[in-house]
Structure 1
Amino acid sequence: MRLYIAEKPSMAAEIAKCLPGPVSRKDGYIITGGGVVTWGYGHILRQAEPGEYDQKYEKWRVEDLPIIPQTWKLFVADSCKKQFDIIKKLIEQATEIVHAGDPDREGQLLIDEVLDYIDNQKPVRRILLNALDEQSIKKAITNLRDNQEFFNLKQSALARSRADWLIGMNLSRAYTLAAQQAGYRTTLPVGRVKTPTLALVVRRERELEAFKPADYFTVKADFQHSHVTFTAYWKPQDDQPGLDTEGRLADPVVTKGLLEKLAAATQPAVIVHCETTEKKDAQRLPLSLSTLQVMAGRKFGYDPQVVLDTAQKLYEKKLATYPRSDCEFLPESQHTDAPVILENLRGVAQAELAAWSDKADSLIKSRAWNDKKITAHHAIIPTVERCNFAALSDTEKNIYYLIAQAYIAQFYPVHVYDQTRAEIEHAGEKFTANGRIIKKLGWKEVYGADVEEKKEEDSGMLPAMKKGDQAQFVRASAEKKTTKPPGRFTAATLVAAMKEIHKYVKNPDLKKQLKDVAGIGTEATRATIIKELIERGFLREETKKKYLRPTEPAYLLIDALPDEMTYPDFTALWESVLHRMAEGSENLEAFLRQQAKFAAALCVKATQACIPLKGEYPCPRCRRGVLQPRTGKHGKFWGCSRYPACRASYDDKDNRPDIPARQNERTVT
């Protein structure tokens, strides 16, 4: 008997439909002519809590840290015990097992860990379902792979899961206890990805608080050549007086003098350099989940979690491929589906999609079709299923629109234009002019203004000219501008920041190294992490645009932690290691030893954390804690928040600690 184990019931039902009949539904599984299909509910197994390793860990104590499991334990989740028993019984009856978890790191682990838990020795195959339409499923069934090929992917998922446990369990306890000793009655959850993400928002808010607007001037001049007037922008020399630290002209007196100098010059301007180059912009790639979340946030104002949930619905309706993808490329073999998908889109009840599809050329093969860039999954695209656009919700229509738009763009030509750059010298000053002439609009016809980046110093159309030509100076002007503060994050732009984390890395050497790493977190978890930070009261959304602002506990947590946890450098490096582990070039045990060592070092740092005291009565004895009301066998008294490290205590007098002039403390026993 061949047994398919799917990640969730909906996927199991679709697989069963594509197997030979007859089909018979049972409690927890489906019998077909081509095998039995059962399912999980995400992770059937859960990691053990510290108290399940040793009862002493149920109480949070500094002296017990760090907690490093010698043998990792898993338990069947209470809500999944019945289904686990069904799966276990079916595995015992099976001759061959087909792993049908989602085609990603986490999907690989959650079926593998069940098989490992029951010590399965039977052969296991792997089915990769990037889409749930009938054609895709049947094709995947005929192309099963040996599950052992994905061993490294499982190791990578195990590494992430256990590293998250080591960091989360130990540092949450260590810094919560440190905060409590300073008088706070709160829990400070620390996460390998969650904490540096929160720190991005805290640091951005402090940038805004410290921001002071500064005035500067943009100087430009109009020149005439061959009866055509064009604009060029002034470029200061390195020793130019009046510049601010960013190289902008900030001195109004110097600005006025410059304009007067330009106007007074009697010699014509000279073209000292002119170069025209043909440039090509390749088609914008199809969408990964993060790209889709960012685009949907900008265009429709959608929260990243809404985008993920909607993409999942389109996947389950067989209209779009697997949503939790970090890939923006497509398998070369799927290019043959293009005529069918484009024909379907020509008939969709959405004017733009239909019109764009009608002009698309299915023979064009963009850079997106590249097997070398594909791992377990590919970019999110429409499936070969015809879409009843009118039956979709408004949110589903908008997300499907973005997915289809990106796919259609692959079948338009590259965008071609001539780029001209000219340098003009006048009165001893240099100016630059940039212009472009579009030769072939290509794929930008699909995106229009959405992809046109209007640059501040774009001179528009330029006349034909060459080096050594003269130009007539017409006029010069200076536009006063004011520096703008950085924008607050929204959930969508924070997802983009997590994906492009190299931009926020502190170490300049790492910044280069991590540019090719796919950020921190995964496509599936980024939205969830942001949502959790909001729900736990560390971030709040403000105004209609839902800008994210940190709360008081967020400042407390980030200020208490060392840079190793608040800057993304280490986390991004770990993500890089996890990617290499999935490729087979890193070792799980070596990585976990490093993580355990790191957690231990930060637990020590927690005992030395400088956390401002919270409370009316600082402890007179240790001066590092605050006095808090307690109840003992003799009634109410006041004791130090750092007990038992500090055993100072005082009687209560009118709801205040009675601190004698000579500090006659008694010891709490």
Structure 2
Amino acid sequence: MKLYIAEKPSMAAEIAKYLPGPVSRKDGYITTGDGVITWGYGHILRQAEPDEYDPKYERWRVEDLPIIPQNWKLLVADSCKKQFEIVKSLIDQATEIVHAGDPDREGQLLIDEVLDYVNNQKPVRRILLNALDEHSIKKAIVSLRDNQEFHDLKQSALARSRADWLIGMNLSRAYTLAAQQAGHRTTLPVGRVKTPTLALVVRREREIEGFKQVEYFTVKADFEHDSTIFTAYWKPHEEQPGLDTEGRLADKTIAKDLLTSLKSAKEPAIVISCETTEKKEQQRLPLALSTLQVMAGKKFGYDPQVVLDTAQKLYERKLTTYPRSDCEFLPEAQHEDAATIIGNLGRIANNELAGWAAKADTSISSRAWNDKKITAHHAIIPTVERCNFASLNETERNIYYLIAQTYIAQFYPVHVYDQTRAELEHAGETFIANGRIIKELGWKEIYSADTEEKKEDDSTMLPSMLKGDRPLFIRASAEKKSTKPPGRFTAATLLAAMKEIHKYVKNPDLKKQLKDVAGIGTEATRATIIKELIDRGFLKEETKRKYLKPTEPAYLLVDILPEEITYPDFTALWEDILHQMAEGNASLDTFLMQQARFTASLCTKARGADIPLKGEYHCPRCRKGVLQLRNGKHGKFWGCSRYPACRASYNDKNDKPDMPAPPVKKQGQG
């Protein structure tokens, strides 16, 4: 018997439709003419909690940290016990197994861990379902691969899962206990990805709070050549007085004198250099989940979780491919579907999409089609299923629109333009003019209405100039400007920061190294992490734009943790190692040993953390804790928050600690 194990019931039902023979639904599985299909509900197995390794860990104690499992333990989730027994029974009966988890790191692990848990020795093959339309599923069924090919992907997922456990379980306990000893009655959840993400928002808020506006002047001049007037911008000399630390002209008197000098010069300007270069801009790549989330956030104001949920619905309706993809490329063989997909988009009930599709040339093969860039999944694109656009709700229409728009762009020519840079000299001062002449609009025709594209293409039109030409100076002006504070994060821009984490790395050498790393977190987890920070009260959304602001517990958490966990440097490095592991270039055991040492060092740091005391009555004995009202055998009393390290205790007197008054100093005593 061939047994397919899908990640969830809906996936199993879709596979069953396209297997031969009669289909019959049973309790927990489906029979077909080509075998049986069963399913999980995401992770059937869960990682054991600390107290399930040893009951003593049920109570949080500093002396028990760090907790490092020697043999990692998985347990069947309570809600999945019945289904697990069905899956186990079917594995026992099977002669061949087909792994039908989602085509990503997590999907690989959650079926593999079940097979390992039951000690399966039967051959396992892998089906990769990037879309649920008939064509894609039938193609995947006849293209099964050996599951062993994905061993490294499983190792990467296992490493991520165990590293998150080590950091989360240990550091949450270590720093919660440290905070409680200083009088804070709170639980501080620490996460390998969650904490540096929260710290991004806290630091940004502090930048805004500490921002001091700076005024400066932008000097520009208009020149005329061959009856064309153009604008050039002043470039200060290296030794120019009056510049601020950012190289901006901040001195009003110097700006005024500069304008006088320019206006009084009798000689015309001279062209020092003028270079024109033809440039080509390749088609914008199709969408990974995070690029879709950021784009939808900017264009429609959608929360990242809404985008993921909507993309999942479109996928389940067979209209788009697998949503949790971190890949922006497409398999070369899939180019053969282009005519069908573009044809369907040309008949869609959306004038823009239909109009663009009508002009598309499916013979064009953009850089998106590249087998070397494909792993278990590919970019999110429309499927060959025709979309009934009118049947979608507004959010679904907008998300489908963005996915389709970027796919159509692959079948437009590259964007070609001439870029001109001219350097002029007038009155001993240097001016720079940049211009762009579009030769072929190409794929940018599809994005011509977008504000960002307009900004990029709105360049000065320059006349044809040669070195030595003498343009006529017409006028000069100095525009007064003010610096602006950095903008607050929204869920969409925070997600973009998580993806482009190299920009926020503290170590400059590491910043260069991590530029190509795909950020922190995964495509599937980033939105969930942001939502969890909001739900747990560490971030709050404000105004219609839903700007994110940190709360008091967020400041406390970020302030008491060491930089190793609040800056993204280490987490980004770990993500790089996990990526290498998925490609077979890093060891699971070595990685976990590093994580265990790192965890132990941070637990040690927690014991000496400098945490502000919170409480009305500071402990007079240790001076490091606060007195808290407690109930004992003989009634209420006040004890130090650092018990048992400090055993100071005082009777309760009218809801206040009955402490001896400090000794009165006699006159003359120092």
TM-score band, normalised by shorter chain = over 0.9
Paired letter, 2:495? V
Counterpart CA distance in 1 for 2:24 and 2:613 is 66
Which SS does the other structure have where 2:514 is aligned? helix
Counterpart CA distance in 2 for 1:112 and 1:248 is 58
Paired letter, 2:103? P
Matched with 1:7 is: 7
Q: Is the 8 A contact 1:232 1:459 kept in 2?
A: no
Which SS does the other structure have where 1:475 is aligned? strand
Matched, 1:278 2:278: yes
Counterpart CA distance in 2 for 1:8 and 1:658 is 62
Matched with 1:553 is: 553
Q: Is the 8 A contact 2:436 2:457 kept in 1?
A: no
Matched with 1:107 is: 107
Matched with 1:483 is: 483
Counterpart CA distance in 1 for 2:359 and 2:453 is 24
Q: Is the 8 A contact 2:45 2:76 kept in 1?
A: yes
Pick closer, same or farther for the CA change 1:458–1:305 going to 2, 3 Å.
Answer: closer
Which SS does the other structure have where 1:89 is aligned? helix
Displacement of 1:235 in angstroms is 0.5
Query: What do the CA deviations read for 1:580-637 (whole angstroms, capped 9, x no partner)?
Result: 0000111101100100000000000001111100000111111110001112122211
Q: Is the 8 A contact 2:447 2:453 kept in 1?
A: no
Matched, 1:41 2:41: yes
Pick closer, same or farther for the CA change 1:501–1:109 going to 2, 3 Å.
Answer: same
Paired letter, 1:101? G
Which SS does the other structure have where 2:319 is aligned? coil
Displacement of 1:449 in angstroms is 3.7
Kindly tell me the number of residue pairs found equivalent between the two proteins. Answer: 663
Displacement of 1:143 in angstroms is 0.5
Displacement of 1:29 in angstroms is 0.4
Which SS does the other structure have where 2:362 is aligned? coil
Query: What do the CA deviations read for 1:299-342 (whole angstroms, capped 9, x no partner)?
Result: 01000000000000000000000000000000000000000000
Counterpart CA distance in 1 for 2:433 and 2:21 is 70
Matched with 2:249 is: 249
Q: Is the 8 A contact 1:434 1:458 kept in 2?
A: no
Counterpart CA distance in 1 for 2:185 and 2:345 is 57
Q: Is the 8 A contact 1:289 1:523 kept in 2?
A: yes
Matched, 1:83 2:83: yes
Which SS does the other structure have where 2:410 is aligned? helix
Paired letter, 1:59? R
Alignment of 1:647-662 (within 5 A): 647-661=647-661
Counterpart CA distance in 2 for 1:311 and 1:228 is 50
Displacement of 1:226 in angstroms is 1.3
Which SS does the other structure have where 1:3 is aligned? strand
TM-score, normalization by structure 2: 0.98
Displacement of 1:3 in angstroms is 0.4
Paired letter, 2:303? D
Which SS does the other structure have where 2:155 is aligned? helix
Counterpart CA distance in 1 for 2:270 and 2:531 is 58
Counterpart CA distance in 1 for 2:438 and 2:72 is 61
Counterpart CA distance in 2 for 1:262 and 1:610 is 59
Query: What do the CA deviations read for 1:152-195 (whole angstroms, capped 9, x no partner)?
Result: 00000000000000000000000000000000110000000000
Q: Is the 8 A contact 1:346 1:354 kept in 2?
A: yes
Query: What do the CA deviations read for 1:242-295 (whole angstroms, capped 9, x no partner)?
Result: 111111011101100100111111111000010001000000000000000000
Unaligned 5+ residue runs, structure 1? 664-669
Matched with 2:23 is: 23
Pick closer, same or farther for the CA change 1:222–1:59 going to 2, 3 Å.
Answer: same
Matched with 2:645 is: 645
Matched with 2:448 is: 448
Counterpart CA distance in 2 for 1:555 and 1:479 is 39
Which SS does the other structure have where 1:125 is aligned? strand
Alignment of 1:185-196 (within 5 A): 185-196=185-196
Which SS does the other structure have where 1:327 is aligned? coil
Matched with 1:564 is: 564
Query: What do the CA deviations read for 1:42-91 (whole angstroms, capped 9, x no partner)?
Result: 00000000000000000000000000000000000000000000001111
Matched with 1:55 is: 55
Q: Is the 8 A contact 1:444 1:451 kept in 2?
A: no
Query: What do the CA deviations read for 1:118-172 (whole angstroms, capped 9, x no partner)?
Result: 0000000000000000110110010100000000000000000000000000000
Pick closer, same or farther for the CA change 1:662–1:483 going to 2, 3 Å.
Answer: closer
Matched with 2:329 is: 329
Matched with 2:301 is: 301
Matched with 1:179 is: 179
Matched with 1:517 is: 517
Q: Is the 8 A contact 1:434 1:457 kept in 2?
A: no
Displacement of 1:452 in angstroms is 4.8
Q: CA-atom RMSD, angstroms?
A: 1.1
Query: What do the CA deviations read for 1:218-251 (whole angstroms, capped 9, x no partner)?
Result: 1000011112111100001111111111110111
Counterpart CA distance in 2 for 1:555 and 1:45 is 35
Pick closer, same or farther for the CA change 1:602–1:44 going to 2, 3 Å.
Answer: same
Q: Is the 8 A contact 1:7 1:40 kept in 2?
A: yes
Alignment of 1:501-540 (within 5 A): 501-540=501-540
Paired letter, 1:419? Q
Paired letter, 1:418? D
Q: Is the 8 A contact 2:626 2:640 kept in 1?
A: yes
Counterpart CA distance in 1 for 2:459 and 2:11 is 55
Matched with 1:320 is: 320
Which SS does the other structure have where 2:433 is aligned? strand
Displacement of 1:453 in angstroms is 4.7
Paired letter, 1:526? R
Counterpart CA distance in 2 for 1:162 and 1:463 is 63
Paired letter, 1:318? K
Q: Is the 8 A contact 1:230 1:459 kept in 2?
A: no
Paired letter, 1:158? L
Matched with 2:666 is: none
Matched with 1:145 is: 145
The runs of at least 4 aligned residues of structure 1 exceeding 3 Å deviation read 451-459
Counterpart CA distance in 1 for 2:318 and 2:255 is 62
Matched, 1:126 2:136: no
Query: What do the CA deviations read for 1:440-464 (whole angstroms, capped 9, x no partner)?
Result: 0000001114275566997511111
Paired letter, 2:198? L
Matched with 2:668 is: none
Counterpart CA distance in 2 for 1:190 and 1:471 is 63
Counterpart CA distance in 2 for 1:457 and 1:255 is 30
Matched with 2:498 is: 498
Matched with 2:361 is: 361
Alignment of 1:254-265 (within 5 A): 254-265=254-265
Q: Is the 8 A contact 1:433 1:457 kept in 2?
A: no
Counterpart CA distance in 2 for 1:451 and 1:155 is 43
Matched, 1:311 2:317: no
TM-score, normalization by structure 1: 0.98
Counterpart CA distance in 1 for 2:128 and 2:261 is 70
Query: What do the CA deviations read for 1:408-432 (whole angstroms, capped 9, x no partner)?
Result: 0000000000111000000010000
Matched, 1:575 2:575: yes
Counterpart CA distance in 2 for 1:222 and 1:576 is 50
Matched, 1:156 2:143: no
Unaligned 5+ residue runs, structure 2? 664-670
Counterpart CA distance in 2 for 1:80 and 1:455 is 53
Q: Is the 8 A contact 1:221 1:477 kept in 2?
A: yes
Which SS does the other structure have where 1:110 is aligned? helix
Q: Is the 8 A contact 2:640 2:648 kept in 1?
A: yes
Query: What do the CA deviations read for 1:332-369 (whole angstroms, capped 9, x no partner)?
Result: 00000000000000000011000000000000000000
Which SS does the other structure have where 2:515 is aligned? helix
Matched, 1:432 2:421: no
Matched with 1:402 is: 402
Counterpart CA distance in 2 for 1:212 and 1:258 is 27
Pick closer, same or farther for the CA change 1:398–1:453 going to 2, 3 Å.
Answer: closer
Counterpart CA distance in 1 for 2:266 and 2:299 is 51
Matched with 2:212 is: 212
Displacement of 1:390 in angstroms is 0.6
Counterpart CA distance in 1 for 2:385 and 2:56 is 56
Alignment of 1:340-419 (within 5 A): 340-419=340-419
Displacement of 1:661 in angstroms is 2.9
Counterpart CA distance in 1 for 2:498 and 2:459 is 35
Counterpart CA distance in 1 for 2:246 and 2:459 is 23
Alignment identity in percent?
80
Matched, 1:225 2:225: yes
Counterpart CA distance in 1 for 2:379 and 2:326 is 7
